[in-house]
Amino acid sequence: MKPVQLTKLDSIALESGHPVTDFSLLSGHNTLAVSTDDAHEIVYRIDGERYSISKESEQCLFQSPGYTRYGLVFAKGMDMFILLDGAVSGPYDMINGPFFAPNDACTAFIFRKDHQCYISVEKQVFGGYDEIYAPRFSPDGTRFGFHFENGDDKFVCIDGKVFGPYSFVYTPRFSRDSSAFCYGFDKDQTSGVCVNGEEYTGFEKPGECLLNSSGDIFAFTFRRGNGIYVNISSLTELGPYKNAWLYNRPDGDLTLIHEEDGHIELEKISLGK
Confidence band of 16 (pLDDT split at 50, 70, 90): confident
Q: Give residue-wise pLDDT tens across range 104-162.
A: 999 999 999 999 999 999 999 999 999 999 999 999 999 999 999 999 999 999 999 99
Question: Does 267 have pLDDT greater than 80?
Answer: yes
Q: Give residue-wise pLDDT tens across range 160-175.
A: 999 999 999 999 999 9
Q: Give residue-wise pLDDT tens across range 225-246.
A: 999 999 999 999 999 999 999 9
> What residue segments make up the domains of the chain, in order of their start?
17-92, 176-273
Backbone angles phi, psi at 101, to 5 degrees: -65, 155
Question: Does 262 have pLDDT greater than 90?
Answer: no
Question: Does 54 have pLDDT greater than 80?
Answer: no
